[in-house]
Amino acid sequence: MNILVTGGVGFIGSHTVVELHNSGYTPIIVDNLSNSNEGVLKGLKKITGKDFRLYKADCNDRQALEEVFRENKIEGVIHFAASKAVGESVEKPLFYYQNNVGSLMVLLELMKKYDCGSLIFSSSCTVYGQPDQLPVTEATPKKPAESPYGNTKQICEEIIEDITKTQKSVRAVALRYFNPIGAHPTGYIGELPLGTPSNLVPFMIQSAAGVRGPLTVFGDDYDTQDGTCIRDYIHVVDLAKAHVASMEYLAKNPEQTFDIFNLGTGRGNSVLEIVETFKKVSGAPLEYIIGPRRAGDVEKIFANVAKSKDLLGWQTELSLEESLTDAWNWQLRLGS
Ligand code: NAD
Ligand code: WQD
């Protein structure tokens, strides 16, 4: 079964390519390499022994994307391709709406034309903002987006839901990721942030490796056990496996037109817990300073994952220690 994986050279996409392959699917990758590089394909080959076909194309380029549908019988789509830097989206909102919302529209049009019925969409826990109750379930009300990036995820979810109501031939699942971290346990693929990372774990491992200065912990005066923010950090391999489970869910439930799932561990960890766990598993020296709060940060959020467990038959298997060990090994390989 051919699965189109847009953004398949990226962090989550590349790990999903491995899991699709392991489960007998044939991933067809489309990526414009705007936030990744072709070297990832070598890592994929080392892990799977397989040369994956990459179409270097922009998902907004209708002609180029149509060629992929013409050349391959695409039976399902996993749509990762998007720009994801929250700060950049505030500076370039139109680019974000074009890249993230525009590409989805092109894709949906081609899925209709080529009779491709299953879509898995990368959404985000950012749609919940600062929730009133924790843990968040899929029924927790969405909050107005804090950034154009966050808004693109809300708009895309709404477009997909609308389309699945009226155009019955397309069925879809939106997956709301919490905080994906880690790397493949082989160390052959991982996260490759361009420039200075804004996310915690990439910055922390680069800091510990001496690539960056000390980590700044953004605020220790929140209403949490140690004053630092709480998130639900999920190993990227667990996350990748949920995409395979979602494809199988759509296949087994033909009456299901649209559904949403939280993908997290169900556990919240503070920034200082991440720092301490990382120091323990890596043995690396890590300096940090406490800085002011970062504008727009949510104080605490973590997932209720009961629905994913019940309906997808999926739950996380890997621990925070394993996530941080794998992230560190990836950094060591990159640095060597
Ligand atoms: P990533 O940047 O590593 O991967 C995205 C890939 O898409 C990159 O390889 C990039 O080159 C490609 N791409 C971007 N725009 C494209 C376009 N128009 N056409 C073709 N390719 C394009 O990001 P990721 O962390 O793997 O995220 C994947 C998806 O998951 C994104 O939709 C992101 O918004 C979503 N998400 C990520 C996180 C996270 O923390 N990493 C959390 C929630 C949701
Ligand atoms: C985690 C915690 C920071 C860096 C972002 C996006 C969200 C989603 C995931 C895509 C927070 C603290 C961080 C640092 C720190 N992406 N921190 N020092 O903010 O949960 O979410 O990525 O959808 O949309 O907003 O992730 O990794 O940036 O931060 O203290 O140098 O680490 O304050 O508490 P976040 P993050």
100-140 pLDDT per residue, tens? 999 999 999 999 999 999 999 999 999 999 999 999 999 99
188 counts as catalytic: no
For the CA of 12, the closest atom of ligand 1 is: 26
Report how far residue 34's alpha carbon sits from residue 160's, in angstroms, rounded to the nearest whole number: 24
DSSP string covering 297-315: --SB--B--HHIIIII---
For ligand 1, is residue 60 a contact (CB within 6 Å)? yes
CB contact set of 158 (below 8 Å; sequence gap of 6+)? none
What does the domain layout of the chain look like in residue ranges? Answer: 2-181+234-264
The predicted model scores a pTM of 0.98
Fold exhibited by the domain 2-181+234-264? Rossmann fold (3.40.50)
155-169 average pLDDT score: 94
Give the residue carrying structure tokens 């990526």. 31
Q: Is the peptide bond before 135 cis (omega within 30 degrees of 0)?
A: yes
- From ligand 1's centre to the CA of 8, what distance in Å? 8
Question: pLDDT tens-digit profile of 30-52?
Answer: 999 999 999 999 999 999 999 99
